[in-house]
Amino acid sequence: MVFKSLRGVEDLLPPESEKFEKVVKTFKEAVEKAGFREVILPIFEEAGLFARSVGETTDIVQKEMYVFEDKGGRQVALRPEGTASAVRAYIQHGIYAKEPFTKWFYVGPMFRFERPQAGRRRQFFQAGCEVFGLSQPGADAEVIGVAASILESLSVEFNLEVNSIGCEKCRPRYREALLEFLKLRVEELCPDCKGRLERNPLRVLDCKVETCKEVVSEAPVITDYLCDECRVHFQKVKEYLSLLGVGFKVNPRLVRGLDYYTRTVFEFKSEKLGAQSTVLAGGRYDRLVSQLGGPETPALGFAMGIDRVMLLLPQVEEEREGVFVVTAGEEAYRKGLELIAFLRSKGIKAQIDHRQGSFKSQMKAADRVRAKFVVIIGEEELKGDFLSLKDLDTGKQEKISGLEELLARL
Ligand code: ATP
Ligand code: MG
């Protein structure tokens, strides 16, 4: 029996793992500059937390969540997203009583039982930000701006779409109008959407089936139904975004696949990703903290799909780095061991070929690991008490008299 990883659950081997780290590092640098601090949250939680926050009628909860009973008989779920846990932790630790506003970020794996394809996996990674305690439209604009700055730092091209999906005051009116419209076109909807109609017609707007998308393109838009407060809020968000120099397009049919959003929602999309076009998405969720038992607390956030971002990174050739020590014979090998320890202590990446094969095979290894320099310790070098240094970028070789000179050259 040969084991394989589960479908949609991928190993990240080098250099993919290094790409992953680069994305995380860039994300952290960008959000820390904006004052976000890291929270490390559990990978599994009580299943009810997600049903309650993401929404009972969502695809995530109905079809995609990994739920199991633990040995204590509890219903447990692998987290399908990060916001629910962040809100749970915010309430549990009474952060609302300690800070007037809070800016958190998280990075980690998420789990959804979906049909695996390019940019869609069952274990995938998100990096996300959450802001608690700010209701002002400036916070929406800033959060969207931070998201844009992450993708810009990664040289990922995007189109930003924003919308307002209103609040509990104005959404019911829209829901009615939408339902009325969809009922007339019900025959054209996919089986899933037929079911969604009564439970949550807004879900239909997010359907990815072509025929549903066509119907939706003629549906009434929520922006025509916003209450005065929501309208003013959205207007300010757009003004502030322009002020911050963030380019965007209003997509009045944009909704999100999770129930907890209110007012501002946004998606960063890439044309290069085919069907899985959204790389980063988020919005405001002013009702969620109180819905989960905390005090009324406005909040907003986003999550970036790291796997999808990785598909969009420009290909760069790995740069050569560090030193590879090539030796001939036991005495030279011993000197080589001392040398790599010395170089590493000076912060220089250094490797040696323990196989002690031919000069040619050692040079080949140096090239394969993309070393920048080769230090040669051969018979001649031992006799003459010097080292030979070869630059693999230029092919130039020179004699080095001692360690001081070697350090100066590297
Ligand atoms: P989609 O519409 O593509 O299913 P979603 O609305 O379910 O996305 P969110 O829950 O908002 O996505 O998650 C935010 C981001 O996480 C997405 O924009 C995407 O980049 C990424 N993401 C979501 N699901 C997956 C998955 N199964 N595999 C890889 N990345 C994912
Ligand atoms: Mg989804």
User: For residues 267 and 303, what is the distance between their CA atoms, to the nearest angstrom?
Assistant: 10
- Give the pLDDT of residue 160: 98
Who contacts 219 (Cβ-Cβ below 8 Å, separation ≥6)? 178, 181, 182, 205, 253
The answer to whether domain 16-170+226-312 and domain 323-409 are alike in fold is no
**b/e for 153-168, b at 16 or more Cβ within 10 A?**
ebebebebbbbbbbbe
186-244 residue pLDDT tens: 999 999 899 888 888 988 998 889 999 999 999 999 999 999 999 999 999 999 999 99
Q: Is the pLDDT of residue 258 over 80?
A: no
Domain 323-409: what homologous superfamily? Anticodon-binding domain (3.40.50.800)
Does the C-beta of 120 come closer than 6 Å to ligand 1? yes
- Give the pLDDT of residue 289: 97
* Of 61, 278, 279, 300, best ligand 1 pocket probe by most atoms within 8 Å of the beta carbon: 278
Does the C-beta of 203 come closer than 6 Å to ligand 1? no
* Of 126, 130, 204, 259, best ligand 1 pocket probe by most atoms within 8 Å of the beta carbon: 126
Q: How far is the CA of 60 from the centre of ligand 2 (A)?
A: 7
Domain map of the chain by residue range? 16-170+226-312, 323-409
Query: Does residue 353 contact residue 324 with C-beta atoms inside 8 Å?
Result: yes
Who contacts 385 (Cβ-Cβ below 8 Å, separation ≥6)? none
Percent of the chain's residues with pLDDT above 70: 100
Q: How far is the CA of 293 from the centre of ligand 1 (A)?
A: 27
Does the C-beta of 390 come closer than 6 Å to ligand 1? no
Mean pLDDT estimate for the chain: 95
Q: According to DSSP H, which parts of 15-111 are helical? A: 16-33, 47-53, 59, 83-92, 95-98
- Give the pLDDT of residue 363: 97
Ligand 1 atom 15, closest CA: 305
User: For residues 256 and 217, what is the distance between their CA atoms, to the nearest angstrom?
Assistant: 16
pTM, whole model, 2 decimals? Answer: 0.93
Compute and round to an integer the Cα radius of gyration of the chain: 28
* Bridge-based pairing state of the strands 75-78 and 44-46: antiparallel
286-338 residue pLDDT tens: 999 999 999 999 999 999 999 999 999 988 888 899 999 999 999 999 999 99
Which listed ligand is nearest to 257 at the C-alpha?
A: 1
Does the C-beta of 303 come closer than 6 Å to ligand 1? yes
Residue 316, H or E segment? none
User: For residues 205 and 223, what is the distance between their CA atoms, to the nearest angstrom?
Assistant: 14
Architecture of domain 16-170+226-312: 2-Layer Sandwich (3.30)
